Protein backbone atom coordinates (compact mmCIF):
# COMPACT_ATOMS: atom_id res chain seq x y z
CA UNK A 1 0.00 0.00 0.00
CA UNK A 2 2.93 2.33 0.65
CA UNK A 3 3.74 2.14 -3.10
CA UNK A 4 0.42 3.74 -4.10
CA UNK A 5 1.03 7.40 -5.05
CA UNK A 6 -0.31 9.83 -2.45
CA UNK A 7 -0.41 7.32 0.41
CA UNK A 8 2.11 8.70 2.85
CA UNK A 9 2.79 7.75 6.47
CA UNK A 10 -0.14 9.72 7.94
CA UNK A 11 -2.80 8.36 5.55
CA UNK A 12 -1.38 4.84 5.75
CA UNK A 13 -1.47 4.87 9.55
CA UNK A 14 -4.97 6.39 9.62
CA UNK A 15 -6.27 3.57 7.40
CA UNK A 16 -4.37 0.88 9.29
CA UNK A 17 -5.62 2.17 12.66
CA UNK A 18 -9.21 1.82 11.45
CA UNK A 19 -8.99 -1.44 9.49
CA UNK A 20 -6.27 -3.12 11.62
CA UNK A 21 -4.89 -5.13 8.68
CA UNK A 22 -3.65 -4.07 5.24
CA UNK A 23 -5.69 -6.84 3.58
CA UNK A 24 -8.86 -5.34 5.09
CA UNK A 25 -7.97 -1.94 3.60
CA UNK A 26 -7.86 -3.42 0.09
CA UNK A 27 -11.15 -5.24 0.68
CA UNK A 28 -13.02 -2.14 1.86
CA UNK A 29 -15.55 -0.28 -0.30
CA UNK A 30 -14.45 2.90 -2.08
CA UNK A 31 -16.89 5.08 -0.12
CA UNK A 32 -15.63 3.73 3.21
CA UNK A 33 -12.00 4.24 2.21
CA UNK A 34 -12.67 7.82 1.18
CA UNK A 35 -14.45 8.61 4.45
CA UNK A 36 -12.07 6.86 6.84
CA UNK A 37 -8.86 7.91 5.09
CA UNK A 38 -10.12 11.46 4.43
CA UNK A 39 -9.00 11.05 0.85
CA UNK A 40 -10.51 11.74 -2.56
CA UNK A 41 -12.64 9.19 -4.35
CA UNK A 42 -9.94 8.99 -7.03
CA UNK A 43 -7.32 7.97 -4.48
CA UNK A 44 -9.73 5.50 -2.86
CA UNK A 45 -10.24 3.92 -6.28
CA UNK A 46 -6.45 3.68 -6.66
CA UNK A 47 -6.30 1.73 -3.40
CA UNK A 48 -9.06 -0.62 -4.61
CA UNK A 49 -7.14 -1.26 -7.84
CA UNK A 50 -4.21 -2.28 -5.66
CA UNK A 51 -0.50 -1.94 -6.21
CA UNK A 52 1.50 -2.33 -9.39
CA UNK A 53 2.62 -5.99 -9.29
CA UNK A 54 5.43 -5.37 -11.77
CA UNK A 55 6.81 -2.57 -9.60
CA UNK A 56 6.59 -4.74 -6.47
CA UNK A 57 8.44 -7.61 -8.20
CA UNK A 58 11.10 -5.18 -9.37
CA UNK A 59 11.63 -3.89 -5.83
CA UNK A 60 11.68 -7.39 -4.31
CA UNK A 61 14.35 -8.47 -6.83
CA UNK A 62 16.50 -5.48 -5.91
CA UNK A 63 16.09 -6.26 -2.22
CA UNK A 64 17.06 -9.89 -2.63
CA UNK A 65 20.13 -9.07 -4.70
CA UNK A 66 21.31 -6.50 -2.18
CA UNK A 67 20.64 -8.61 0.95
CA UNK A 68 17.95 -6.19 2.11
CA UNK A 69 14.92 -7.28 4.14
CA UNK A 70 11.58 -5.67 4.98
CA UNK A 71 9.74 -5.22 8.26
CA UNK A 72 6.27 -3.66 8.43
CA UNK A 73 4.18 -2.25 11.25
CA UNK A 74 2.20 -5.50 11.24
CA UNK A 75 5.35 -7.49 12.12
CA UNK A 76 6.46 -8.29 15.68
CA UNK A 77 10.04 -7.30 14.79
CA UNK A 78 9.08 -3.70 14.02
CA UNK A 79 10.87 -1.43 16.55
CA UNK A 80 8.60 -1.02 19.55
CA UNK A 81 9.33 2.63 20.33
CA UNK A 82 8.95 3.66 16.70
CA UNK A 83 5.32 2.52 16.77
CA UNK A 84 4.63 5.18 19.40
CA UNK A 85 5.38 8.24 17.24
CA UNK A 86 2.78 10.22 15.32
CA UNK A 87 3.91 9.20 11.82
CA UNK A 88 5.85 5.90 11.99
CA UNK A 89 7.06 4.64 8.61
CA UNK A 90 4.74 1.82 7.46
CA UNK A 91 7.67 -0.11 5.99
CA UNK A 92 11.32 -0.28 7.01
CA UNK A 93 14.01 -1.69 4.74
CA UNK A 94 16.99 -3.08 6.64
CA UNK A 95 20.29 -4.89 6.15
CA UNK A 96 21.95 -6.84 8.93
CA UNK A 97 20.23 -8.07 12.08
CA UNK A 98 17.50 -5.92 13.56
CA UNK A 99 17.84 -5.74 17.38
CA UNK A 100 14.87 -7.06 19.34
CA UNK A 101 11.83 -4.81 19.07
CA UNK A 102 12.22 -3.51 22.63
CA UNK A 103 16.03 -3.38 22.89
CA UNK A 104 17.08 -0.26 24.86
CA UNK A 105 18.66 2.24 22.49
CA UNK A 106 20.11 5.74 22.66
CA UNK A 107 20.86 8.03 19.72
CA UNK A 108 24.27 9.73 19.55
CA UNK A 109 24.42 12.44 16.90
CA UNK A 110 26.13 15.72 16.09
CA UNK A 111 28.12 17.85 13.70
CA UNK A 112 29.52 16.61 10.40
CA UNK A 113 32.54 18.83 11.08
CA UNK A 114 33.56 17.24 14.36
CA UNK A 115 36.40 18.75 16.38
CA UNK A 116 38.93 16.65 18.29
CA UNK A 117 36.94 17.49 21.45
CA UNK A 118 33.70 16.32 19.83
CA UNK A 119 35.26 13.07 18.64
CA UNK A 120 36.76 12.41 22.07
CA UNK A 121 33.45 12.98 23.88
CA UNK A 122 31.62 10.82 21.33
CA UNK A 123 34.06 7.94 21.84
CA UNK A 124 33.80 8.20 25.62
CA UNK A 125 30.02 8.45 25.88
CA UNK A 126 29.35 5.84 23.19
CA UNK A 127 31.74 3.30 24.76
CA UNK A 128 30.08 3.75 28.15
CA UNK A 129 26.57 3.44 26.69
CA UNK A 130 27.60 0.20 24.96
CA UNK A 131 29.02 -1.10 28.24
CA UNK A 132 25.64 -0.35 29.83
CA UNK A 133 23.91 -2.52 27.23
CA UNK A 134 22.57 0.24 24.99
CA UNK A 135 22.13 -0.09 21.23
CA UNK A 136 23.67 3.00 19.59
CA UNK A 137 21.52 4.75 16.98
CA UNK A 138 22.92 7.38 14.62
CA UNK A 139 22.51 8.84 11.15
CA UNK A 140 25.58 7.50 9.29
CA UNK A 141 26.71 11.03 8.42
CA UNK A 142 30.30 12.25 8.44
CA UNK A 143 31.72 13.45 11.74
CA UNK A 144 30.04 12.61 15.06
CA UNK A 145 27.63 10.03 13.57
CA UNK A 146 30.44 8.01 12.00
CA UNK A 147 32.48 8.14 15.22
CA UNK A 148 29.47 6.90 17.21
CA UNK A 149 28.93 3.93 14.88
CA UNK A 150 32.65 3.06 14.80
CA UNK A 151 33.05 3.29 18.57
CA UNK A 152 30.04 1.04 19.17
CA UNK A 153 31.55 -1.59 16.86
CA UNK A 154 35.04 -1.30 18.40
CA UNK A 155 33.49 -1.92 21.83
CA UNK A 156 31.59 -4.97 20.58
CA UNK A 157 28.24 -3.22 20.80
CA UNK A 158 25.28 -3.08 18.45
CA UNK A 159 24.55 -0.03 16.33
CA UNK A 160 21.74 1.07 14.02
CA UNK A 161 22.45 3.38 11.08
CA UNK A 162 19.35 5.28 9.94
CA UNK A 163 19.87 6.20 6.29
CA UNK A 164 18.43 9.03 4.23
CA UNK A 165 18.41 7.06 0.96
CA UNK A 166 17.86 3.54 -0.36
CA UNK A 167 20.13 0.92 1.17
CA UNK A 168 21.60 0.11 -2.23
CA UNK A 169 23.25 3.55 -2.17
CA UNK A 170 26.07 4.19 0.30
CA UNK A 171 26.06 7.84 1.32
CA UNK A 172 28.52 9.27 2.10
CA UNK A 173 30.51 7.02 -0.25
CA UNK A 174 33.64 7.07 1.95
CA UNK A 175 31.65 5.17 4.61
CA UNK A 176 31.40 1.99 2.53
CA UNK A 177 33.69 -0.01 4.85
CA UNK A 178 31.86 1.35 7.90
CA UNK A 179 28.54 0.25 6.36
CA UNK A 180 29.83 -3.30 5.94
CA UNK A 181 30.93 -3.36 9.59
CA UNK A 182 27.58 -1.97 10.77
CA UNK A 183 25.51 -4.65 9.07
CA UNK A 184 27.73 -7.31 10.65
CA UNK A 185 27.26 -5.97 14.19
CA UNK A 186 23.82 -4.39 13.96
CA UNK A 187 21.84 -3.06 11.04
CA UNK A 188 21.21 -0.22 8.63
CA UNK A 189 17.58 0.87 8.18
CA UNK A 190 15.64 3.26 5.98
CA UNK A 191 12.08 4.02 4.99
CA UNK A 192 13.20 4.76 1.42
CA UNK A 193 12.93 2.06 -1.22
CA UNK A 194 15.99 0.91 -3.19
CA UNK A 195 17.18 3.40 -5.76
CA UNK A 196 16.11 6.45 -3.73
CA UNK A 197 18.97 8.98 -3.91
CA UNK A 198 20.17 10.95 -0.85
CA UNK A 199 18.14 14.07 -1.58
CA UNK A 200 18.16 16.96 0.90
CA UNK A 201 14.48 16.54 1.78
CA UNK A 202 15.03 12.93 2.91
CA UNK A 203 17.18 13.79 5.91
CA UNK A 204 14.64 15.73 8.00
CA UNK A 205 12.28 12.74 7.55
CA UNK A 206 15.12 10.39 8.50
CA UNK A 207 15.72 12.37 11.71
CA UNK A 208 12.30 11.52 13.16
CA UNK A 209 13.23 7.83 12.94
CA UNK A 210 16.56 8.39 14.73
CA UNK A 211 14.76 9.93 17.70
CA UNK A 212 11.66 7.75 17.44
CA UNK A 213 13.58 4.49 17.71
CA UNK A 214 15.52 5.72 20.77
CA UNK A 215 14.81 6.25 24.46
CA UNK A 216 16.87 9.44 24.38
CA UNK A 217 19.01 11.55 22.06
CA UNK A 218 22.54 12.71 22.95
CA UNK A 219 23.79 15.65 20.89
CA UNK A 220 27.56 16.19 20.78
CA UNK A 221 28.54 19.37 18.92
CA UNK A 222 25.98 21.14 16.77
CA UNK A 223 26.14 24.52 15.09
CA UNK A 224 23.20 26.94 15.14
CA UNK A 225 21.62 25.44 12.01
CA UNK A 226 22.70 21.82 12.46
CA UNK A 227 20.38 19.01 11.40
CA UNK A 228 21.01 17.50 14.84
CA UNK A 229 18.85 20.28 16.29
CA UNK A 230 15.97 19.14 14.07
CA UNK A 231 16.36 15.68 15.56
CA UNK A 232 16.24 17.24 19.03
CA UNK A 233 12.96 18.91 18.09
CA UNK A 234 11.54 15.60 16.87
CA UNK A 235 12.68 13.98 20.12
CA UNK A 236 10.84 16.55 22.23
CA UNK A 237 7.69 16.16 20.10
CA UNK A 238 7.91 12.39 20.58
CA UNK A 239 8.39 12.63 24.36
CA UNK A 240 12.01 11.48 24.25
CA UNK A 241 14.76 12.77 26.53
CA UNK A 242 17.26 15.21 25.00
CA UNK A 243 20.83 15.42 26.29
CA UNK A 244 23.48 17.89 25.15
CA UNK A 245 27.22 17.90 25.72
CA UNK A 246 28.45 21.43 26.52
CA UNK A 247 31.26 22.89 24.46
CA UNK A 248 33.56 25.92 24.52
CA UNK A 249 31.67 29.23 24.54
CA UNK A 250 33.76 30.50 21.62
CA UNK A 251 33.25 27.43 19.44
CA UNK A 252 30.79 27.79 16.55
CA UNK A 253 30.35 24.01 16.47
CA UNK A 254 29.01 24.08 20.04
CA UNK A 255 26.62 27.02 19.67
CA UNK A 256 23.67 24.71 19.04
CA UNK A 257 24.35 22.33 21.95
CA UNK A 258 24.99 25.19 24.37
CA UNK A 259 21.72 26.81 23.27
CA UNK A 260 19.88 23.51 23.79
CA UNK A 261 21.16 23.38 27.37
CA UNK A 262 19.91 26.95 27.97
CA UNK A 263 16.53 25.89 26.57
CA UNK A 264 16.20 22.97 28.98
CA UNK A 265 18.07 20.04 27.42
CA UNK A 266 19.87 17.99 30.05
CA UNK A 267 23.55 18.85 30.21
CA UNK A 268 25.67 15.72 30.17
CA UNK A 269 29.38 15.13 30.57
CA UNK A 270 29.25 11.39 31.32
CA UNK A 271 27.03 8.44 30.67
CA UNK A 272 25.94 8.39 34.31
CA UNK A 273 23.91 11.58 33.60
CA UNK A 274 22.10 9.82 30.76
CA UNK A 275 21.41 6.51 32.50
CA UNK A 276 20.22 8.24 35.65
CA UNK A 277 17.66 10.23 33.66
CA UNK A 278 16.56 7.19 31.64
CA UNK A 279 16.54 5.07 34.83
CA UNK A 280 18.72 2.45 33.15
CA UNK A 281 21.39 0.97 35.36
CA UNK A 282 24.82 -0.28 34.33
CA UNK A 283 24.90 -3.99 33.73
CA UNK A 284 27.05 -5.82 36.26
CA UNK A 285 29.23 -8.32 34.34
CA UNK A 286 28.56 -12.00 35.19
CA UNK A 287 31.01 -13.62 37.62
CA UNK A 288 32.12 -17.25 37.42
CA UNK A 289 32.58 -19.51 40.45
CA UNK A 290 36.39 -19.24 40.26
CA UNK A 291 36.11 -15.46 40.12
CA UNK A 292 33.80 -15.48 43.13
CA UNK A 293 36.47 -17.37 45.07
CA UNK A 294 39.03 -14.73 44.05
CA UNK A 295 36.72 -11.99 45.28
CA UNK A 296 36.62 -13.52 48.77
CA UNK A 297 40.22 -12.42 49.38
CA UNK A 298 39.44 -8.81 48.43
CA UNK A 299 38.07 -6.12 50.71
CA UNK A 300 35.79 -3.12 50.29
CA UNK A 301 36.48 -1.05 47.20
CA UNK A 302 38.73 -3.68 45.60
CA UNK A 303 35.91 -6.22 45.71
CA UNK A 304 33.54 -3.68 44.12
CA UNK A 305 36.10 -2.87 41.42
CA UNK A 306 36.65 -6.54 40.60
CA UNK A 307 32.91 -7.16 40.45
CA UNK A 308 32.44 -4.42 37.86
CA UNK A 309 35.28 -5.52 35.56
CA UNK A 310 35.00 -8.15 32.84
CA UNK A 311 37.39 -10.11 30.62
CA UNK A 312 37.12 -7.64 27.73
CA UNK A 313 38.10 -4.57 29.74
CA UNK A 314 36.28 -1.56 31.18
CA UNK A 315 37.32 2.00 30.39
CA UNK A 316 38.68 3.85 33.44
CA UNK A 317 36.12 6.70 33.38
CA UNK A 318 33.20 4.28 33.26
CA UNK A 319 34.74 2.22 36.07
CA UNK A 320 35.03 5.34 38.21
CA UNK A 321 31.33 6.09 37.62
CA UNK A 322 30.39 2.51 38.45
CA UNK A 323 32.23 2.25 41.77
CA UNK A 324 32.02 5.93 42.85
CA UNK A 325 35.70 6.04 43.79
CA UNK A 326 37.82 9.17 43.21
CA UNK A 327 40.22 8.76 40.29
CA UNK A 328 43.52 9.02 42.25
CA UNK A 329 42.36 6.40 44.74
CA UNK A 330 40.96 4.18 41.98
CA UNK A 331 44.26 4.21 40.08
CA UNK A 332 46.12 3.25 43.25
CA UNK A 333 43.75 0.36 43.98
CA UNK A 334 44.02 -0.88 40.39
CA UNK A 335 47.82 -0.84 40.61
CA UNK A 336 47.71 -2.92 43.79
CA UNK A 337 45.28 -5.37 42.19
CA UNK A 338 47.42 -5.65 39.06
CA UNK A 339 50.55 -6.39 41.10
CA UNK A 340 48.58 -9.04 43.01
CA UNK A 341 47.37 -10.68 39.78
CA UNK A 342 43.70 -9.71 39.94
CA UNK A 343 43.53 -7.31 37.00
CA UNK A 344 45.48 -6.46 33.85
CA UNK A 345 45.83 -3.21 31.91
CA UNK A 346 44.60 -3.02 28.30
CA UNK A 347 45.16 -0.31 25.65
CA UNK A 348 42.92 2.74 25.85
CA UNK A 349 42.98 3.07 29.66
CA UNK A 350 40.92 -0.10 30.12
CA UNK A 351 41.18 -2.72 32.84
CA UNK A 352 40.11 -6.36 32.76
CA UNK A 353 39.71 -9.21 35.24
CA UNK A 354 42.40 -11.88 35.28
- What CA–CA distance (Å, rounded) separates 79 from 218? 19
Instruction: Output 10 or 174, whichever has higher pLDDT.
Output: 174
For the chain, give the percent of residues with pLDDT over 90: 48
Domain boundaries, the chain: 1-51, 96-278, 289-353
pLDDT band of 13, cuts 50, 70, 90: low
- What CA–CA distance (Å, rounded) separates 202 from 131? 32
Give pLDDT tens digits for 229-269. 999 999 999 999 999 999 998 899 899 999 999 999 999 98
Grouping H, G, I as helix, E, B as strand and the rest as coil, residue 139 is coil
| Region of poorest pLDDT, from 130-134, 149-153, 203-207 | 130-134
Nearest to 122, CA basis, from 94, 142, 103, 104: 142
- What CA–CA distance (Å, rounded) separates 226 from 240? 19
* CATH code for the part of the protein at 96-278: 3.40.50.450
Instruction: Output 309 or 10, whichever has higher pLDDT.
Output: 309
What CATH architecture applies to the domain 1-51?
Orthogonal Bundle (1.10)
Residue 137 has pLDDT above 80, yes or no: yes
pLDDT band of 139, cuts 50, 70, 90: very high
Give pLDDT tens digits for 309-324. 888 788 787 788 778 7
CATH 3.30.1490.100 fits 289-353, yes or no: no
pLDDT, averaged across the chain = 86
- What CA–CA distance (Å, rounded) separates 162 from 94? 9
Amino acid sequence: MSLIPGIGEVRFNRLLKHFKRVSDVFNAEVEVLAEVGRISRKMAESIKRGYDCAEVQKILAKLSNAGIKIVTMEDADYPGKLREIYDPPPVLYFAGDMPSANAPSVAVIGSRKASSYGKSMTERITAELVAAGMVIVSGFARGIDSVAHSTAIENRGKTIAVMGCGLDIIYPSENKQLYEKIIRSGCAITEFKPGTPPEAGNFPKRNRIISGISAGVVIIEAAQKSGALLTARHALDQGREVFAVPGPANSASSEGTNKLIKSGAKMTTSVADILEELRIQFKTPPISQSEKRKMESLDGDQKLIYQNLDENGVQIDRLAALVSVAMPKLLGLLLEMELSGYVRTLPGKRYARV
